[in-house]
Amino acid sequence: MATLALVQALSAVAADETIARYDLTPTLAADLSDPTRRRAVWDEVHLVAALQGLANRHAPRLYLRYNAEADDFWWARMTEPGGWLEGRQARAVEGLDALLERFADCYSGAVVWDERVPATSNLASTIAGCDSLLPIRFDETADSLYQRLVGAGRLQPVVRLLADDSGPLFTGQGTVPGTAVASSGSAKCDAYLWLMEHYVKAGKTDPHRMGYYLDGYWLTCWASGGPATHTLTNHDYVIAHRGVLFDLNVWDDETPIDDRGQPPGTDAATLRALLRCLYDQFNGKGTIQVAGFVPWAYKYTRFGSAGGTHAEVPTEWRYAEILSCFNAYMDADALGLSAMANASFYQHYPLPERLPQRPKPTAESLRARGLLDADGRVVPRWYVAHYVGDYDSAAWLYQCLPGMWADPARGKVPLSWAFNPNLAERFPLGMAWARQHATEADWFVAGDSGAGYLNPGYLSEPRPHSGLPSGMAAWEEHCARFYRQWDLSVTGFVIDGFARGLTTEGLDAYARFSPDGIVAQQIGAAGVHNGMPYLKMAGDLPGDPADAARQIVSRFHGPGPQFAVFRSILQPPSWYLRVTERLDEVAQGNVVTVDLYTLLGLVRERESHPELYETPSAYSSATAVAAAPGQELGLWPLWWDDGPFVVGDVDGVTCWRLPTHVPPYYLYFDVDDGFADSLRGTATIEVEYLDRGAGRFDLQYDSAESGAYCGSGAPVARQGTGAWRTAVFALDDVRFAGAQNAGADFRLFSAGDDLVVRRVRVAR
């Protein structure tokens, strides 16, 4: 109670205090190719971000101007008539010395870190939050920040992450300094083992808060990204909460570019140890918020000079997989829009206990809108909803929301904005402002997996990276709190990545806190679980509105009702309007665009009353189904983002042409469900192709034994004769359950020149 009284007293004082504003934008214009200037930029931003976290710990006292457009916009919103800070006095602070003097009550000295072990920069940020210190890079050259503040006696070096002789404290040999813990063989990882022993296990950190941000290695690799992507300004929130900052590789089969001498996988082992150490502090009775993201442009992937062996998306999924096994979730500040300032300031925005949306659809309202007929059947149309992503990052929302809400097309198309509700931890201002200025066409759903990005399949046992008991109850409690406050009952996209899909335990939990539905990667095409409708995500839309419309239409065939959800990333409302206009042209009004609450409500009605829709397939007893361009008889080609086939004439014959591409493009096909059900596991697929060019082509099919993308085992080598030929693939374990992209059952692809196909036939 004494602590609460102190916080309340400090907040009351701060409410009358003039807010300090400090301009960091000049650091973005610095010549980073100059090593001295580059280090000066890092040193200033690092110190100011830490000072802001300390100053704003209990109340909003220090506001930075860093991302000028975003920071100016949100300052204007806070101080305008009716705004949170209307009438509050603010004053610019000029220069670092004046800023340090203004907030001298917030810190008691310095924590000095060692550039030779870049990981110590993140240790310094962590220690800054725990011990109320300012992080300073050790540098005895003239005019360095270290010399100006520590060398001149203005800041006492309370913690030094260096040896007594100013050599490296962490060497990757012997034992971790000051402990009985054996060295990991890596100076980088020993630094984190030291932090665990001296701060995490000692109870100095908040075990529920972490930040995954690039360490001091940025001083070496800065040219791989823009000047803001060091993400130092993002540290303030983690520091304010005494959280742990880290930067570790997630792969067990490689050494990271910043520590080639370590045994392979040491980084990943250290990350797991750190997560387990934090988990043990609260005995698994809760979750861990992890702001930040894999610094993929700099480390740990095969992008550019990052030095890894794995691609960017698999690295993201591996990271999510590991976090999920320890009850940890992302607030995913991915590079590009990663830089965020002032989260420690925004966190104090006063939210009401509940922020309701408009009334959600019911069977009665769906009937009144003409979507259900008098007998309760869904009107037979093709229904599509847009998952408007990706907003699983407070940094992305803070930068993108002003432009999205200013788009004059907003309100003209039903949009389901996938703002992860946990973003209210770091950016409650923006979350509330979006609600206050929503149109009737703006709906809000939970984004990636719920109140934080993770793989919920790995909340259930067995949990491969941790061996821990189920974390599903902790996740349900965490999500339920946010869903109640933000009036959410739909989870727009459950990301499964490399993890398994939701178990029965997971589906039961989502049915309780997300009762109006989920859309997932690894789930059946459509259904209802304990009253909760679900749908399989149809995929990502390409950026060209015409191509997006084609992809949507290709997902549907045959009579309705049929349902699909498509994901797009950072597209503005005007883009969705163009897609809708194209849809009207291509589908001649047969596609109805609705919000996700409506779509999943229709799925619930359809799947709960299958007896109303019993229409036998026309192909259940057929001996074969076939397709040629414009002539689909129980077999349909599906246009997809990695399958953008072209229809055209070759020597007077209308064909599908699949362009050569690396990674390859695919020509997807969907088999009629009634025909597929009658195959009893065996089928023959005939492909009539133009034998021109060189290279091979092959087929991958949805197999009962080997999964969605089983190879045929019999690739076809082209001879270059210029004649039309027929390739025959005999398959003996087909499943054809629509498990491939776009709900396809099989796909063709070429390892060589373009593939030209005029007819495909599937026979018993």
57-88 pLDDT per residue, tens: 999 999 999 999 999 999 999 999 999 999 99
pLDDT tens for 336-362 read 899 999 999 999 999 999 999 999 999
Co-location of 400 and 543 in the same domain: yes
Among the listed residues 213, 212, 204, 208, the one whose alpha carbon sits nearest the alpha carbon of residue 288: 208
> pTM (2 decimals)?
0.90
Would residue 236 count as lying in a domain? yes
Whether 553 and 672 map to the same domain: the answer is no
Q: Count other C-beta atoms under 10 Å from residue 641's C-beta.
A: 17
Backbone angles phi, psi at 369, to 5 degrees: -85, 0
Question: Does residue 280 contact residue 199 with C-beta atoms inside 8 Å?
Answer: no
Burial string for 668-700 (b: 16+ CB within 10 Å, else e) reads bbbbbbbbbeebeeebebebbbbbbbebebbbb
pLDDT band at 225 (very low <50, low <70, confident <90, very high): confident
Whether 534 and 637 map to the same domain: the answer is no
**Residue 226 falls within a domain, yes or no?**
no
Residue 14 has a pLDDT of 57
Long-range contacts of 137-145 (CB under 8 A, 24+ apart): 137/39, 137/42, 137/43, 137/46, 137/112, 137/113, 137/216, 138/112, 138/113, 138/114, 138/162, 138/166, 139/39, 139/43, 139/115, 141/36, 144/39, 144/40, 144/43, 145/40, 145/43, 145/44, 145/47
Q: What is the mean pLDDT of residues 408-435?
A: 98
| Residue 390 and residue 331 in one domain | no
Is 183 contained in some domain? no
Clarify whether residues 631 and 663 are in a common domain. yes
Please indicate, yes or no, whether residues 78 and 156 belong to a single structural domain of this protein. Answer: yes
Confidence of residue 4 (pLDDT cuts 50, 70, 90): very low
Can you tell me the distance from the alpha carbon of 408 to that of 678, in angstroms, rounded to the nearest whole number?
51
State the DSSP code for 428: H
At residue 628, the 3 state secondary structure works out as strand
Q: CA nearest 658: which of 548, 740, 749, 722?
A: 749
Q: Nearest-5° angle of CA 520, CA 523, CA 525? A: 100
Is the distance from CB of 313 to CB of 335 less than 8 angstroms? no
Residue 607: partners with Cβ closer than 8 Å, 6 or more residues away: 526, 527, 528, 533
Per-residue pLDDT, averaged over 178-194, amounts to 97
Within 10 angstroms of residue 136's Cβ, the number of other Cβ atoms is 28
Q: What is the pLDDT of residues 639-695, one digit of tens each?
A: 877 888 889 898 889 999 988 887 788 999 999 988 998 898 899 999 999 999 899
- Dihedral of CA 582/587/590/591: which sign? negative
- If you count DSSP H runs as helices and E runs as strands, how many of each does the chain have, helices first? 21, 33
Domain that holds residue 283: 2-164+188-221+231-255+264-346
Task: Give the count of beta carbons closer than 10 Å to the beta carbon of residue 394.
Answer: 28
Looking at 296, 326, 346, which one is the last position of a domain? 346
Domain finish residue from 346, 371, 399: 346
Strand-pairing partners, residue 122, are none
Same domain, 598 and 630: no
List the end-to-end C-alpha distance of the chain, in Å, as a whole number: 75
Residue 329 and residue 344: Cα distance in Å, rounded? 19
Cα distance between residue 731 and residue 712, in whole Å: 7
CB contact at 8 A, 125 and 46: yes
Per the model's pLDDT, the better-predicted residue between 740 and 277 turns out to be 277
Number of domains observed in the structure of the chain: 3
Domain check: are 646 and 735 in the same one? yes
What is the separation of C-alpha 324 from the centre of its chain, rounded to a whole number of angstroms?
Answer: 13
In a domain, 366, yes or no: no
Does residue 615 belong to any structural domain of this protein?
A: no
- Please say if the pLDDT value at position 3 is more than 70: no
Q: Which of 555, 574, 609 is the last residue of a domain?
A: 609
Q: Would 76 be classed as within a structural domain?
A: yes
- Cα distances from 413 to residues 436, 561, 587, in angstroms, run 19, 20, 17
Do residues 435 and 298 share a domain? no
Between 3 and 385, the higher pLDDT residue? 385
Q: What percent of the chain has pLDDT over 90?
A: 85
The secondary structure of 41-105, three-state, reads HHHHHHHHHHHHHHHCCCCCCEEEECCHHHHHHHHHHHHCCCCCCCCCCEEECCCHHHHHHHCHH
Tell me, what's the pLDDT at 555? 85
Which residues does 374 contact at the CB level (< 8 Å), separation at least 6? 367
CB atoms within 10 A of CB 475: 27
Same domain, 452 and 516: yes
Q: Does 144 reside within a domain?
A: yes
In the predicted structure, residue 518 carries a pLDDT above the cut 90? yes
Q: What is the CATH number of the domain that holds 739?
A: 2.60.120.260
Answer whether residue 595 shows pLDDT above 90: yes
Spatial contact of 129 and 243, defined as CB atoms under 8 Å apart: yes
Place of tokens 């064909």: 655
Q: Which helix (H) or strand (E) holds 698?
A: strand 695-703
CB hemisphere CA count around 636 (13 angstroms):
20
3-state secondary structure of 444: strand
Residue 197 placed within a domain? yes
- CATH code of residue 583: 3.20.20.490
- How confident is the prediction for the chain on average, in pLDDT? 94
pLDDT tens-digit profile of 124-163?
A: 999 999 999 999 999 999 999 999 999 999 999 999 999 9
Which of the four pLDDT bands, split at 50, 70 and 90, describes residue 224? Answer: confident
Q: What is the pLDDT of residue 15?
A: 62
Contact status, residue 290 vs residue 330, Cβ threshold 8 Å: yes
User: What's residue 2's pLDDT?
Assistant: 42
Please check whether residues 557 and 505 belong to one and the same domain: yes
Please state, in angstroms and rounded to a whole number, the distance separating the CA atoms of residues 688 and 353.
63
Regarding whether 425 and 565 lie in a shared domain, the answer is yes
Q: Which of 3-7, 241-245, 353-357, 577-581 has the lowest mean pLDDT?
A: 3-7
What are the pLDDT digits (tens) for 533-590?
999 999 899 999 999 998 899 888 877 799 999 999 999 999 999 999 999 998 888 8
Reference 543, options 516, 520, 514, 576; nearest CA is: 576
